[in-house]
Structure 1
Amino acid sequence: MQTWYHIIPKNTGLSSYVWIIFCLLPFFFIFRSSSMTEILIGIGMTLVFFLSYRLSFISNSRLVYLWVSIEMAISLIMTMLFGYIYFSLFLAFFIGNIHHKGGFLSLYIVHLSTTVAAVTIVLFTQNESLFPQLPFIIISIIGVILLPFTIRYRNKQQKLEGQLQDANERISQLMVLEERERIARDLHDTLGHKLSLIGLKSDLAGKLVPVKPENAINEIHDIRQTARTALKEVREMVSNMRGAKLEDEITRVQQIIEAAEMEFQFDGDTTLTNTPLLVENVLSMCLKEAATNIVKHSGASWCYVSIEQSETDVHIQIKDDGIGISDDTQSYQGHGLQGMRERLEFVNGNLEILSDQGTTLNIRVPNVIQQTEQEESV
């Protein structure tokens, strides 16, 4: 069961003030009675109902059905004696929170049938007391019919959204682990061979110093050159690993395009919401690669970039009026498009290429959805 135990139900489509009125209304119906005994009975049953209603939210599954049975009995008595039907809405809300399907259906059928039966009996026996509030009674009956299913489906949706959020967090963790492994491989490939070479040449230079000093000096020069090459590759790798903001990359792309004497147009917003830095970095790298291709290979006179973020994905479109791209594999590899595809696949994105009167690149990456905090289900 849920640990939440407020008397006033939340997220049912009705304002909290309406539920407050439903909490106070029974006393209005009770005090219309002329008998002091009926008034005391009515007040006592109202207090017991709200006490049971609270206990039904905080009790274990075995006692829940006991409290619900007490609440149903009180609701029927209040309907028969005082014409107060609105406790049935509280029950309808709670029944919608029952997690077990069998228990939900059983309580739903019993509650609906007893409520309809009680209202029908009172309408035939005490027509004058219920007739003025007949529209509200009809609304209450509709609530008893629909509210449990509405609450049940809402709880299922929140549960699925919570599972989706957990899955997205797990995917993000896996992406971080995969990126760390990639960095480790790059470091191994970049430094492993060259450090081994430096070690071998150092041993060789040490052996040649007393025998052939000139050859030892050449080996030392090779060691220095190898170290500089390794340092340069490490710097390039670290530079590529740095997170690039899309806003900064747009500015650099504009500078590159305009420096090539092309017209640059931009549409959209560079501020992305609910987008991890890794995804934004991949988008920035793809945008940079696309701009480089336009400058080097397209022969275009203008470049258009648009960024659009919807509820489901981020869409970046890059267009030019250049010579286009042929469909052969060498053209794709030569323009770095295969590398762009691989980067996008890493974040579950895709690249669409259209080559008609220029080139159009459509880059789409799904959003990481942030869900609202999930209530525990009954």
Structure 2
Amino acid sequence: MLKWRSNLYKTTGLNPFIWAILFILPFYYIFRTSSKAHTAVGIALIILFFVSYVLVFVTKGWKVYVWSGVQIAISIAMTVLFGFVYFSLLLTFVIGNITSKKGFITLYVIHLTVTIATIDYAIVVKNPMVISQLPFVFICLIMVILLPISNYNRNKNERLQGQLNDANKRISELVKLEERQRIARDLHDTLGQKLSLIGLKSDLAIKLMPKTPSQSLIEMKEVRQTARTAMKEVREIVKQMRGAKLKEEMARIEQMLKTAQIELIVEGDLDPKNLSLMNENVLCMCLKEAVTNLVKHSGASVCTISIRPDRLALIAIVEDNGIGLTQNAVYSHGSGLKGMKERLEFVNGSLELGEGPGTSLVMKVPNTHPREKA
């Protein structure tokens, strides 16, 4: 019960109380007739319409089209018999919820054609209810034309956003797995050889101890030196364990924007020479956050990321041609800009809003001494 109610609200955006009003409204048209049989038919049609409306959202496959066809037939009957044309408006939410492009186009064309023909018929026969509310009928017809397309595109964008989020999570997990495997290989190659050598020399020292203690002492000193060398190499591996790299993060950003059908333009060098590992990791996290918000809220078609080295800092600028922060309250207040600013300030960096027709974020992270080559 709760499932279909939540689906109904999600796909139409209408509160259940509004649906209660829409359910009562048709009875006004029915009770104006003097025939009890006529009234009974109208009540049966209304109940069948709303039952089939619920079934559309709880069934799948070909049954969706069957119940949609039932609703179209009831909409025709209600218009012809009672002059009630507004069931055609409720059908726009059903049609806009169709995921198949062919199915959507087919139902859209059938519904639009039938609605126009039914309204024309009601006008020709001079149905008093239709004639008296002709301006509202034309408004209803315009909404029948526009609403299914709008709802279809909205639902499609929500599905794409869900797929994008799943893809990002998958990419993140693969990156972590790859890094774990790299660390495991490095530790195995480094420690495996050294520990084997320590084991062999220890066995040799034990054998030499009774006969030649001096040679045994030499072997034990070599064991100690090997252990120290192994410890030093492990420290180097830990030291070189890298966080996010700018070039790799940009590849993930490119994949994200490609999925969202946003063009990416990259300017500058993606291999900074004077940036510490921590500062590069912080910059990558902020770039990821900025691009994620761009995809969700900006409505942009082009994103430009510029990397500009400075004497004291590395400057990264993320620009888009979207609606901008000033017009998009959700983006400006709920985008995580505060978190990005706090991350950058932690490494003595900064975040500023640039100028432009869309959104422009200017991030600065300080340079350090050149990195030592591993």
The reply to whether TM is greater than 0.5 is yes
Specify whether residues 46 and 63 from structure 1 end up closer, same or farther in structure 2 by C-alpha distance, changes over 3 A only: same
TM-score by length of structure 2 reads 0.61
Q: Indicate whether 1:312 and 2:267 are aligned.
A: no
Gaps (5+ residues) in structure 1? 245-283, 292-305, 315-349, 366-378
Identity %: 48
Q: Is the 8 A contact 1:89 1:140 kept in 2?
A: yes
For residues 313 and 107 of structure 1, the distance between their equivalents in structure 2, rounded to whole angstroms, comes to 35
Q: Is the 8 A contact 1:5 1:58 kept in 2?
A: no
Q: Is the 8 A contact 2:72 2:91 kept in 1?
A: yes
Q: Which residue of 1 aligns with 2:182?
A: 182
Q: How far is 1:160 from its partner?
A: 2.2
Q: How far is 1:162 from its partner?
A: 2.8
For residues 224 and 156 of structure 1, the distance between their equivalents in structure 2, rounded to whole angstroms, comes to 65
Q: Which residue of 2 aligns with 1:138?
A: 138
The equivalences for 1:164-179 within 5 A come to: 164-179=164-179
For residues 171 and 179 of structure 1, the distance between their equivalents in structure 2, rounded to whole angstroms, comes to 12
Q: Is the 8 A contact 1:112 1:145 kept in 2?
A: yes
Q: Deviations over 1:282-315 (max 9, x none)?
A: xx96235899xxxxxxxxxxxxxx967754169x
Specify whether residues 65 and 220 from structure 1 end up closer, same or farther in structure 2 by C-alpha distance, changes over 3 A only: closer
Q: Deviations over 1:99-139 (max 9, x none)?
A: 34333323222211121122223234336423453343223
Q: Which amino acid aligns with 1:165?
A: N
The equivalences for 1:192-211 within 5 A come to: 192-211=192-211
Q: Which residue of 2 aligns with 1:93?
A: 93
Q: Which residue of 1 aligns with 2:108?
A: 108
Q: Which amino acid aligns with 1:144?
A: V
For residues 55 and 288 of structure 1, the distance between their equivalents in structure 2, rounded to whole angstroms, comes to 55
Specify whether residues 158 and 224 from structure 1 end up closer, same or farther in structure 2 by C-alpha distance, changes over 3 A only: same
Q: Indicate whether 1:287 and 2:251 are aligned.
A: no
Q: Is the 8 A contact 1:56 1:67 kept in 2?
A: yes
Q: Indicate whether 1:361 and 2:314 are aligned.
A: yes
Q: Which residue of 1 aligns with 2:224?
A: 224
For residues 7 and 188 of structure 2, the distance between their equivalents in structure 1, rounded to whole angstroms, comes to 62
For residues 14 and 114 of structure 1, the distance between their equivalents in structure 2, rounded to whole angstroms, comes to 25
Q: How many residues in Structure 1 have an aligned counterpart in Structure 2?
A: 273
The equivalences for 1:36-185 within 5 A come to: 36-126=36-126, 128-185=128-185
The answer to which of 155-164 and 179-188 deviates more is 155-164
Q: Deviations over 1:316-357 (max 9, x none)?
A: xxxxxxxxxxxxxxxxxxxxxxxxxxxxxxxxxx994524xx
Q: Is the 8 A contact 1:9 1:19 kept in 2?
A: no
* Aligned-partner SS, 2:309: strand
Q: Deviations over 1:58-112 (max 9, x none)?
A: 3453443332222112111111222211111222221223334333323222211
Indicate the structure (1 or 2) with the bigger Cα radius of gyration: 1
Q: Is the 8 A contact 2:243 2:281 kept in 1?
A: no
Q: Is the 8 A contact 1:198 1:226 kept in 2?
A: yes
Q: How far is 1:155 from its partner?
A: 2.9
* Aligned-partner SS, 1:312: helix
For residues 242 and 288 of structure 2, the distance between their equivalents in structure 1, rounded to whole angstroms, comes to 23
* Aligned-partner SS, 1:32: coil
The equivalences for 1:8-19 within 5 A come to: 8=8, 10-12=10-12, 17-19=17-19
For residues 224 and 184 of structure 1, the distance between their equivalents in structure 2, rounded to whole angstroms, comes to 24
Specify whether residues 189 and 362 from structure 1 end up closer, same or farther in structure 2 by C-alpha distance, changes over 3 A only: farther
Q: Is the 8 A contact 2:11 2:155 kept in 1?
A: no
- State the Cα RMSD in Å: 3.7
The answer to which of 159-168 and 112-121 deviates more is 159-168
Q: Indicate whether 1:27 and 2:18 are aligned.
A: no
The answer to which of 152-161 and 22-31 deviates more is 152-161
The answer to which of 4-13 and 180-189 deviates more is 4-13
Specify whether residues 20 and 239 from structure 1 end up closer, same or farther in structure 2 by C-alpha distance, changes over 3 A only: farther
Specify whether residues 186 and 285 from structure 1 end up closer, same or farther in structure 2 by C-alpha distance, changes over 3 A only: farther
Q: Deviations over 1:17-44 (max 9, x none)?
A: 5443322210111122222222211111
Q: Which amino acid aligns with 2:156?
A: K
* Aligned-partner SS, 2:314: strand
Specify whether residues 228 and 168 from structure 1 end up closer, same or farther in structure 2 by C-alpha distance, changes over 3 A only: same
TM-score by length of structure 1 reads 0.61
Gaps (5+ residues) in structure 2? 245-274, 294-304, 319-374
Q: Which amino acid aligns with 1:208?
A: L
Q: Which amino acid aligns with 2:278?
A: L
Q: Which residue of 1 aligns with 2:352?
A: none
For residues 119 and 86 of structure 1, the distance between their equivalents in structure 2, rounded to whole angstroms, comes to 11
